[in-house]
Amino acid sequence: MIRCITIDDEPLALKQMANYIDKTPYLELKGEFENAFEAVSFIQNNEVDLMFVDINMPDLNGMDFVKSLSNPPKVIFTTAYSEYAMDGFKVNAVDYLLKPIGYADFLKAATKAKELYFNDNETITSLEHGEDYLFIKSEYKLIRINYADIRYIEGMREYVRIYLDNDKPVMALMSIKKLVEHLPLTDFMRVHRSYIVNLSKITTIERNRIVFGKTYIPISDQYKSDFQAFIDDKFLK
């Protein structure tokens, strides 16, 4: 996940940005601040990948705030004044959003940030591959994931989200097709173009969907016959 903060002296603007970030699956909101001074301390003590910064703020404006940081995260500027656009790009901003901000424009800017983020943090799909685990590079870290801990995997275009039993999901840049090559086929099955499931974790199937808590994973026609064969093999007649 790309860890974000928002800085804006208008509470309604902060609320809108929080809503947009929540709707965008690869973004995670870590903090909201009504002035730049509050954000400085947070950045010094927490990992931040991307900032949405309003330019027009009292005391310390967004442009001067970013210039004051020795190693700033990536930044997308927001403002109601179009004349600040060129100044934004002079400090190597990812993009510039003119208020009022629609979600389509927000998503376009966020996509640029995502591409830069993943280019800077190239994912290694399998540094070490054992009988019961693999390593995934995610958010600057190498994470060991035991196969037994995986419930299911969701593919979202160029990246995947791995859902675990007792931990938050892990997101990494790779295709679901690439990841399935590293999983033991005796334990995992692709049931949809966007989903792989750990067969040992399946407890409920309802109306052609696999149920994991409040999540319903569809079984598509393309993979239905293989999945049905698995069920028939385990079904007591």
Residue 109 lies in a domain: yes
Which H helix or E strand runs over 46? none
- The CATH number of residue 70's host domain is 3.40.50.2300
Q: Are residues 151 and 227 in the same domain?
A: yes
pLDDT tops 70 at residue 83: no
| Domain assignment of residue 127, yes or no | no
pLDDT of amino acid 199: 95
Final residue before a domain boundary, out of 74, 97, 120: 120
Is there a domain that residue 211 lies in?
yes
Rounded-to-integer distance, Cα 229 and Cα 235, Å: 10
Q: Is residue 201 assigned to a domain? A: yes
The reported pLDDT for the residue numbered 125 is 43
CA distance 8 to 149: 40
Q: What is the DSSP annotation of 161-205?
A: EEEESSS--EEEES-HHHHHTTS-TTTEEEEETTEEEEGGG--EE
Domain that holds residue 155: 133-234
Looking up residue 150, the CATH number of its domain turns out to be 2.40.50.1020
pLDDT recorded at residue 198: 96
pLDDT at residue 21 tops 70: yes
The answer to the question of residue 105 being in a domain is yes
Is residue 152 in a domain? yes
d(CA 151, CA 220): 18
Answer whether residue 126 is part of any domain.
no
- Say if residue 8 is in the same domain as residue 56: yes
Of 128 and 54, more confident: 54
- Higher per-residue confidence, 231 vs 173: 231
Domain boundary among 98, 120, 142: 120
Tell me: do 8 and 116 sit in the same domain. Answer: yes
| 7 and 62 share one domain | yes
pLDDT of residue 82: 67
Domain boundary among 120, 145, 173: 120
pLDDT in tens, 152-201: 999 876 778 899 998 888 888 778 888 888 888 889 999 999 999 999 99
Rounded Cα distance, 2 and 118, in Å: 9
* 128 located within any domain: no
Q: How many domains are there within the chain?
A: 2
Does residue 102 share a domain with residue 11?
yes
Tell whether 114 and 194 lie within a shared domain. Answer: no
Q: pLDDT class for 206, splitting at 50, 70, 90?
A: very high
Q: What is the pLDDT of residue 129?
A: 53
pLDDT in the model for residue 136: 82
What is the pLDDT averaged over residues 207-231?
Answer: 92
Residues 141 and 38 in one domain: no
The pTM of the full predicted model, rounded to 2 decimals, is 0.56
Same domain, 25 and 116: yes
* Rounded mean pLDDT, 67-85: 81
CB 1, CB 25: distance < 8 Å = no
Q: Are 18 and 42 in contact (CB under 8 A)?
A: no
Q: What is the pLDDT of residues 98-153, one digit of tens each?
A: 999 999 999 999 998 988 876 655 544 443 455 788 888 776 677 889 999 999 99
Q: How many CA atoms lie within 13 A of 190 on its CB side?
A: 16
Instruction: Give me the half-sphere count of Cα atoms (radius 13 Å) on the Cβ side of residue 182.
Output: 21
93 in the same domain as 174: no
Tokens of 71: 């190693």
Pair (180, 137) in one structural domain: yes
pLDDT of the residue at 126:
40
114/144 same-domain check: no
Q: How far apart are CA 140 and CA 168, in angstroms?
A: 16
- Confidence grade of residue 236 (pLDDT, cut at 50, 70, 90): low
Are residues 113 and 6 both part of a single domain? yes
